[in-house]
Each structure stands twice: as structure tokens, then as C-alpha cells.
Amino acid sequence: MKIFASIVKIIAVMLFAIFPMVLYAQTPYIIGSYDDRQTANSADLNGNYVSSVSDVSADANVILLGDIFVAPDHYPLYELQQRGCKVIRLEGRDQDDFIARIRAYNDYIQSGNNVFADIPEGMGNVTQPALFPILKSIELKRPNRQNTNLDFVPKPLFNTPPPAESEYIPPALAGMAQTGRINLDIVFAPNSTNVPASAFAILREVVMMLRSNELMKITIEGHTDNFQSSSHNLNLSVQRANSVKSWLVKSGVRSGQVKAVGYGETRPIADNSTSEGRAKNRRVEIVKN
């Protein structure tokens, strides 16, 4: 009897240990603009709020807020599809409608339903007060595939032009949206033109921005302090700008989207007579054309 009680105790401990892990695994990732994330959080939409698809785990459930990544050919959507994620969207005609749809989603979940369960390999709508369009898409009417879940109703996938949306700029590059220019804070080794590993994270954000907005073009500007000769500084700034461009192109950006120029010491933003000022002048900026 004691042995049986011990076994039951061990099983109970294991269940208590595993249950939170299962709950966490089911928690969706939530991606949207800053304002939409604030609204969703205020409306008690529970999940892991992230600012980039790079923060989303493979095979995860994902909620897109508002009109983020609304174009079906957006690179972030491709990334989510490649990682096997199931994706829905919560949006509204205005903020009140947006909040109402979030509350309808919460009611649906709290009723014991799972909007991500049994999602067909296609696009459909959940027949609830708020619609949650599924974004994964392949053929729905193949002879060997049938959607028997009545919570999902197929909708047309083609011949529907996507709604217009603003250019997607990752939060890490928010300055681009405000001024059209941002300092990437790339710290090259002295006299080196090799892109340091510390810059990879911000450059991946640039890659995502350019691949999401194929018509966007940028100029990479290289700048130095005045420690060396003017000719040396100009050559170094050009090579560093070209190194950044090469990194972006090798990462999947079209060459025609990126231009590289160097200005050497001619455009300082701080006093070159101090070490702090020289550090600020040694910079790589990207400018939206």
C-alpha cells in the first residue's frame, strides 16, 4: 500500500511540474505595432508580447494585431510559415471594434475552445462574433484532404488585392520612421572593415525591413573621425559601408535596394578633439532614399 501511495505521489509531482510547461507551450506569441500591443494588453489579451518574428519559437501559435504584415508576400509571414507556426489575426474597423474582437476572442478561449486547434492547412474564418482569419495557405480541396471542423469556413484566397498598409519598420529601427535616418551603432575594430558579430542582430532587422518592403531603398553611409589622414579616412569609410552592404546582400537583400557611400571625416556630429566625440563620429548610418 505504501508503495502504491509513493507511486501516486510521484505521478502527482510530475503532473504539477509538467502542467505549467504545457500551459506555457500553448501561450500564443503576439506581434503588432506599439499602439496595438498597448490596446491588446489593456483589453487583457494574454500571450507573449514580442516585437519581431525572430522572437517567435518554431511551431508556435501566433496572433497578429491590426494591419501588421497584412500583405501575403511579406517576408515575416514567410518566416512564420517556414517555422511551422499557426497564425491568426485580430483587427477591427476602429479601436472600439478592435477591443470588441479581442474580448470575443477571450470569451471563446475562456469557454474552453482553442482557436488554434485543428487549423486546416488553408485559410478560413472561425464562426464566432469576431473573425480570426487563418493565414497558412495551401490547397483546400485536394481529394485526400477534407476540413471537417465546423468552426472553420473556407474563404477565397485569390483575386483579392491586399489592403494598403504602411511600410513595415522593425521597432529596433523606429528612428527610420521618424527621421528617415538611423545610426546602426556598429563598432568596427581599429582600421578594420570586417563587420563585427555584435552588429549582426541590428543588421538582421535591416534585412527584415528591406525584404518586407521590396520597393524601399536605402543608402549606407560610412563616417570616421579625423585621427588619420583625410584620404585614409575616406577610403576606410567607403570600405566599411561596402562591407555592410555585402553583409545585407548575402543575407537575402536585393543589391538594387542598397547603395553604399563613404564620407570619411567630412560630416562629424561631435567634437573630434575629445575621445567621446571621436567615438560618436566613427559611425555607420542608413538613410531611406
Do residues 221 and 84 both lie within one domain?
Answer: no
Domain contains 204: yes
Pick the last residue of a domain from 119, 154, 189.
154
Contacts of 45 (CB under 8 A, 6+ apart): 30, 63, 90, 102, 105, 106
Domain contains 275: yes
The torsion angle over the Cα atoms of residues 152, 156, 157 and 159, rounded to 10 degrees, is -170
Across 67-81, 152-166, 273-287, least confident range = 152-166
Domain contains 243: yes
The CATH number covering residue 228 comes to: 3.30.1330.60
pLDDT value, residue 194: 94
| Averaged pLDDT, 252-257 | 91
Report if pTM > 0.95. no
Domain contains 162: no
State the pLDDT confidence band at 164, using cuts at 50, 70 and 90.
low
Helix, strand, coil percentages for the chain (3-state, nearest 5): 40, 15, 45
State the pLDDT confidence band at 140, using cuts at 50, 70 and 90.
very low
Pick the last residue of a domain from 120, 154, 188.
154
Which tops the pLDDT comparison, 167 or 205?
Answer: 205
Do residues 81 and 178 both lie within one domain?
Answer: no
The model's pLDDT over 35-44, given as tens digits with 9 standing for 90+, comes to 888 899 999 9
Do residues 221 and 282 both lie within one domain?
Answer: yes
pLDDT value, residue 104: 81
Given a contact cutoff of 8 angstroms between Cβ atoms, the answer to whether 237 and 193 are in contact is: no
The CATH number covering residue 32 comes to: 3.40.1360
Do residues 18 and 115 both lie within one domain?
Answer: yes
Domain contains 234: yes
Domain count, the chain: 2
Do residues 123 and 213 both lie within one domain?
Answer: no
Q: How far apart are CA 57 and CA 52, in angstroms?
A: 11
- Which three three-digit cell numbers place residue 235? 577610403
pLDDT value, residue 138: 34
For CA atoms 104, 161, 65, 95, the dihedral sign is: negative
Residue 25 has pLDDT above 60, yes or no: no
Q: 53: domain range?
A: 2-154
Domain contains 83: yes
Do residues 108 and 21 both lie within one domain?
Answer: yes
For CA atoms 90, 51, 246, 226, the dihedral sign is: positive
Do residues 149 and 185 both lie within one domain?
Answer: no
> Scanning the structure block, which residue is given the C-alpha cell 501516486?
8
Pick the last residue of a domain from 106, 126, 154.
154
Do residues 233 and 139 both lie within one domain?
Answer: no
Do residues 186 and 43 both lie within one domain?
Answer: no
The model's pLDDT over 235-249, given as tens digits with 9 standing for 90+, comes to 999 999 999 999 999
Do residues 7 and 150 both lie within one domain?
Answer: yes
pLDDT value, residue 154: 47
The model's pLDDT over 73-107, given as tens digits with 9 standing for 90+, comes to 567 777 787 778 888 888 887 888 888 888 888 88
Residue 1 has pLDDT above 80, yes or no: no
Domain contains 71: yes
pLDDT value, residue 242: 96
Do residues 262 and 198 both lie within one domain?
Answer: yes
Contacts of 186 (CB under 8 A, 6+ apart): 195, 196, 198, 199, 202, 240, 244, 283, 284
Instruction: Report the percent of the chain where pLDDT is more than 70.
Output: 72
Across 7-11, 229-233, 263-267, least confident range = 7-11
Closest alpha carbon to 27 in 58, 59, 52, 60: 60
Do residues 124 and 226 both lie within one domain?
Answer: no
Q: How far apart are CA 173 and CA 286, in angstroms?
A: 10
Domain contains 163: no
